[in-house]
Chains A and B, each alone.
Chain A
Amino acid sequence: MSHVELDPRFASPFPQAVLPVLRNPQLRKNVAHAIDVIQTKRGRLVTEKTDWQELRNSAAAIRSHVLENLGAYLEEFEYRCTAAGGQVHWAADADEARQLILELLRQEKASEVIKIKTMTSAEIQLNPFLQAAGLDVFETDLAEIILQLGDLEPSHIVVPALHVNRSQVREIFARRMGLKDLSDDPKELTNAARHYLRQKFLTIPTAISGANFLIAETGSVAVVESEGNGRMCLTLPRTLITLAGIEKVLPRFQDLEVMLQLLARSATGERMNPYTSLWTGVTAGDGPQRFHVVLLDNGRTSILSKPKQRQTLKCIRCAACMNACPVYRQTGGHAYGSVYPGPIGAILTPQLMQMHYAQSLPFASSLCGACYEACPVKINIPEVLLELRSQVVNQERKQTGRFLDPLYLGLRVANLLFAWALLFHAAQWAGRLGLRLFTRKDGWIHWLPSVGGKWTQTRDLRGLPAQSFHQWWAARAKETK
């Protein structure tokens, strides 16, 4: 597969980025299959959970409450975690976070590190940075191994390799693990990964993880997983570095009773994921004796400062939105040009980039609302999409090239027409006249130029009727007089 760009600064705009994907039946089938499996399971479990809406209400309220009191909760977390033997560091941006983690690894004299999948580390592009500094970085999630060994990019935040099928995995493992007789049976492939990793788990003394939740009340960290590689990385090494966005905090341990009931059902369609680990600082004799938490801002405080957009930070990275999204189902994740794809990516990515990049993403949606309906913390994604669209348009208003954009022009003109009924009716008359050129004998339009051509690429358009509704009404009124 050709290299996929997931850096929003360099990725193609969404309408262009989707084109190779839409023409790839294998990829579309893989994505649709994965989505359908999760959605079917999720649907059953949501119906079964009779207090699902009540849980969502509480989760949304808890997360909003956290954001409104983020400073207090982060300071409490830092205090408790430190008291329990952890060390808490703060990184204002991606660059600082990378430098900080490298420095911590250098203090350990580490030459290699094992990692549990964390989207936050992908956000700050940690792996290439560490590798350039001479360290070996070993991903340990099966999907992440597939991607790492195959030199591929993630396309989903929970099932990152959902776009890769078994024969592709076989080819990657056979080549990179030197297993010539490997079959494409998923059980055998998984076994190969298990063997590949076992020695690494038992010998590499430094690990990097993310965090699903930071508990302020206790200074604890919670990591949710399925495979067990998380437990390996969190308990066997001598040193653990946990990277977490500042928005990951929850007030109390009790809040897990809400979050954990929602998370697995939303993410993978299970009542509970196989393994959840929670640890507090350092515990003598059990697990890493050196523990660091790196709290990351990287644009989050900017989002926090905007009341209409703040809800974006409620996200618990469950991927329910992209599982529900009819756009994502057709395009997969790569087209979004970001490590955060789908509906949440469409709002998070441009905001993390301070609206300097990824301006096409807020428009990568038909506004159907399925994401909002599925979101366990009730982020009104369509509302944020609309807010971001207006910000992008306001950027365009300042650009001289805007008059070359037919859609921009068309909408500005339409606004004038809608202001006066006379103008609107005149435009209808002109439209009827002008479109007669393109209207065939059966009364339908098969081709239009410019923006209209984007419609007629795949759809006909019925020609404008000779009489508008308001003209019919007026004529009828005259008749009855």
Chain B
Amino acid sequence: MSTSALSRQFILDRICAAILPPAKDLAGAAVDYAALPREYIRRGSLSREEKLQLMIKRLREYDAEVIETTPQELPAAIAAQLKASGRSNFIAPAGLPVEWLADDFHWTIDHGLSTDEIEQTEGVVTAAFCGVADSGTIVLHHSAEEGRRVLTLLPDWHLCILRSSQVVQSFPEYIDRLPQPPRLVTYISGPSATADIEMTRIKGVHGPRFLVVILVRDED
């Protein structure tokens, strides 16, 4: 038996001996788990519009640019933001809707690109799974239209398309939307930052220094 296997038995035996009365099995634990107190707020009380305004407010608080648009205007809004960025070389996840790939820009589609190839691009455009208004969090589950994790990490500029129907007020409401837990997740609540030097907040250490969010009002 390997050291790890021996230690596994050693540790589990010690855990078993440590808990008296003897611990339950997983099924028994599940019963206790279901009875744990959960009196915190699970559902926010803001109206739909207030919730969206809060999301926009929080995004702007951490210096993300927020543009509102309608589904019809979306491709034009994307083109306008790409132009305003002053960049020309963009990367898109393989599943990004084709209508979003604005003309007059150089697009690299991620069909398993190397790190070096991604590093050469100037910006990335993705969708999102959800937005949590309380904290201005953008939730990425890295689906085909959200892209692999590295796509929203290396480029310096990230344009995220967020539908208003995807915005919830609280984190528990996001959890409630999950059919099952996601395998890969990134929660973005601000550009990278450090306060390690004298507690002075410096933004943009690693990861995109610029975040632009287009909020598509798809519920009106």
Contacts and interface: CB of A to CB of B under 8 A. Distances in A.
Contacts of B137: 272
B196 interface: yes
A164 B195 CA distance: 12
A202 B196 contact: no
A320 to B, nearest CB: 16
B83 interface: no
B23 A275 contact: no
Contact of A280 (B7, B23, B183, B197): B183
A253 B8 contact: no
Contacts of B205: 142, 190, 193-194, 226-229
B36 A186 contact: no
A415 interface: no
A159 B194 CA distance: 10
Nearest to A36: B199
Contacts of B199: 33-34, 37-38, 159, 162
Interface stretch (A53-61, A336-344, A442-450): A53-61
Given A38-B199, A54-B40, A286 B192 contact: no
Contact residue range for chain B? 35 or more
Interface in B135-184: 135-137, 142, 148-150, 153, 171-172, 174-175, 178, 181-184
B105 to A, nearest CB: 25
Contact of B11 (A160, A236, A257, A295): A295
B202 A301 contact: no
B197 A169 contact: yes
Given A91-B7, A297-B14, A190 B197 contact: yes
B181 A69 contact: no
Given A235-B150, A279-B184, A304-B15, A228 B39 contact: no
A61 B175 contact: no
Contacts of B153: 228, 231-232, 235-236
Interface of A: 30, 33-34, 37-38, 50-51, 54-55, 57-58, 61-62, 65, 68-76, 84, 89-92, 96, 99-100, 141-143, 146, 159-162, 164-166, 169, 186-187, 189-190, 193-194, 197, 201-202, 215, 217-218, 220, 226-229, 231-232, 234-236, 246, 251-254, 256-258, 260-261, 268, 270-280, 283, 285-287, 295, 297, 301-302, 304-305
Interface of B: 3-5, 7-8, 10-12, 14-19, 23-26, 29, 32-33, 36-42, 58, 62, 112, 115-116, 119, 134-137, 142, 148-150, 153, 171-172, 174-175, 178, 181-200, 202, 204-207
